[in-house]
Amino acid sequence: MKTKHEIYYDIEKTKPVTDYKVDGDGYAILNTGTFYIFGETKVDTYKKTIVFAYDDSKVFANHDSQVVANHDSQVVANHDSQVRAYDNSKVRAYDDSKVFAYGNLEVDAYGYSTVKAYDNSKVWAYERSKVFANGNSQVQANNHSEVDAHQNSKVYAFHNSTVKAYDNSKVWAYGNSTVWTYGNLSLHTFGNTMLMDPSNAKIIDRRVQNEN
């Protein structure tokens, strides 16, 4: 089924974009400029392109592209791209990309990506990614990822991950993870987790249990 592309130069949809090519997968290729996409539009972006995505649109962002994702849009960010995601959007970030997550969205972060999560967003971090968790956000950290947890955020740390927990955050740490504690947090540790407590923070709930 051929994809209908709804691409405009303005959010009011008065200036349609027509001078673009479509690849074999049905993605419109956008190079340089600012664009607004709607409906089920699918685009590949390059060369510092800026895209505002709405509805159920999909974006593959490459090479310093910037995306503002809204509604139920989906973004795959590569090569130093930057994403600001809202509502129920979904983001998969690679290669030093940066994501600012707000609302009820989901983020998968790989390859040294950085995520700043707010509200009720959920983050799965891999491959030495860095996550700053705020509000009621939830993070699952894997593969040497690092998490700074603030406010009422929840963190599940695995596989040599490092967590710095502040305020009223909650942490579940497994498998050689390291946790630095600050503030009135709730901590559950399993396996060979290392607890670092430089501020002598009050631990509301600490449970130490071996995984075996």
Angle made by CA atoms 134, 139, 143, in degrees to the nearest 5: 130
| Cα 61 to Cα 30, 66, 84, 135, 185, distances in angstroms | 10, 7, 12, 27, 37
Q: Which residues contact 74 (CB under 8 A, 6 or more apart)?
A: 56, 57, 58, 59, 89, 90, 91
**Region label for 124, one of left (φ > 0), alpha (ψ between -120 and 50) or beta (otherwise):** beta
In a domain, 37, yes or no: no
Q: Where are the alpha helices (DSSP H) in the chain?
A: none
Beta carbons of 80 and 94 less than 8 angstroms apart: no
The pLDDT tens digits of the residues spanning 47-64 come to 889 999 999 999 999 988
In a domain, 36, yes or no: no
In a domain, 35, yes or no: no
The pLDDT tens digits of the residues spanning 140-195 come to 999 899 999 998 899 999 988 999 988 888 898 888 888 888 877 788 877 777 87
In a domain, 80, yes or no: yes
Look at residue 14 and tell me whether its pLDDT is greater than 50: yes
- How many helices (H) and strands (E) the chain has is answered by 0, 25
In a domain, 26, yes or no: no
In a domain, 138, yes or no: yes
- Dmax (CA) for the chain in angstroms is 63
Q: Which residues contact 162 (CB under 8 A, 6 or more apart)?
A: 144, 145, 146, 147, 177, 178, 179, 180
Containing structural domain, residue 89: 44-209
In a domain, 21, yes or no: no
Q: Six-digit token pair at 24?
A: 């074999």
The pTM for the full model equals 0.84
In a domain, 31, yes or no: no
Beta carbons of 181 and 195 less than 8 angstroms apart: yes
Look at residue 109 and tell me whether its pLDDT is greater than 90: yes
